[in-house]
Amino acid sequence: MGFDLSRGYFNCWRCGWHPVDITIAKLLGIRVSDARIIIREYGGVSKLHAPIKKEPIVRPKALKLPSNTQPLQKQHKSYLLKRKYDPTYLQNDWHVVGTGPISLLDGLNYGHRILAPIFWQGRMVSFQCRDITGKAELKYLTCPKSREITHHKHILYGAEERFERWDVCICTEGVFDVWRIGKYGVCTFGIKYTPEQLRLLARFERVVVWFDQEKQAQEQASKLISELRFRGVKTDRIFTDTDPGDTPAEQVKIEIYKMLGDIL
């Protein structure tokens, strides 16, 4: 997570902003009232402000991929096959590539990763990478904001490229989930969704939400469903023991048929 010094709130990369007192209480396993006492002792302020809307980022740099980006190599394909993905399908349908041991962009090392280009309005606007070694501190890295043509959290991965009509979609967390689902899959790049992504989802007549089964993910799924129903969108939900990206392909087909059998 991060902390906004000017506004005084914590921001979770997955589920959004949270007040300081509640966050400290959760981290220390104490009551909120006790957390407020601790905050005052250290000169902090427990009364928090909601985050203000940020000004659009001016993109001073051109979009480009990290150095040493190449077609999927043996190590990339081995990782994908181990997770039951077809490398040829990902290369041909999703333009997926890989990075070498050293792969740099703006001082960041994107080495040893699967790279998924992100397309919107007919062109690549960003990218996201996934570590294949299991050793990286951050499993996922995205394009630096200063290089994004469109911020990835303002769009739905898979939506524009896959849908001729915005009738139904299965909304998931990440790109691997979309690859597993195929035709109807879109993702919000994490369980934290933005107003821009909510507006795009509201364009669909029907949205099926399929998030991971951990508590935090399911709470966000419930919130998303409530907001979509408020906007008149028919919503459904899929519950499985594993997240979509780790669910066997045959089980994914069964879950899709349960929900969308009437239109398949």
Residues 112 and 139 in one domain: yes
| Residue 240 domain boundaries | 159-260
| Predicted pLDDT of residue 58 | 57
pLDDT over threshold 60, residue 126: yes
Mean pLDDT of 193-207: 94
Residues 254 and 169 in one domain: yes
pLDDT per position as a tens digit, 4-47: 766 677 777 666 667 788 888 888 999 878 888 888 777 765 55
- CATH of residue 213's domain is 3.40.1360.10
pTM of the model: 0.77
| Predicted pLDDT of residue 7 | 64
Cβ partners under 8 Å of residue 212, min gap 6: 173, 191, 218, 243
pLDDT over threshold 90, residue 177: yes
- CATH of residue 111's domain is 3.90.980.10
pLDDT over threshold 90, residue 60: no
Question: CB burial class (10 A; 0-12, 13-18, 19+) of residue 6?
Answer: exposed
Task: Please check whether residue 22 lies inside any domain of the structure.
Answer: yes
Mean pLDDT of 223-250: 93
Distance CA 264, CA 245 (A): 21
**Please, what is the average pLDDT of the chain?**
88
| Predicted pLDDT of residue 254 | 94
Mean pLDDT of 253-264: 87
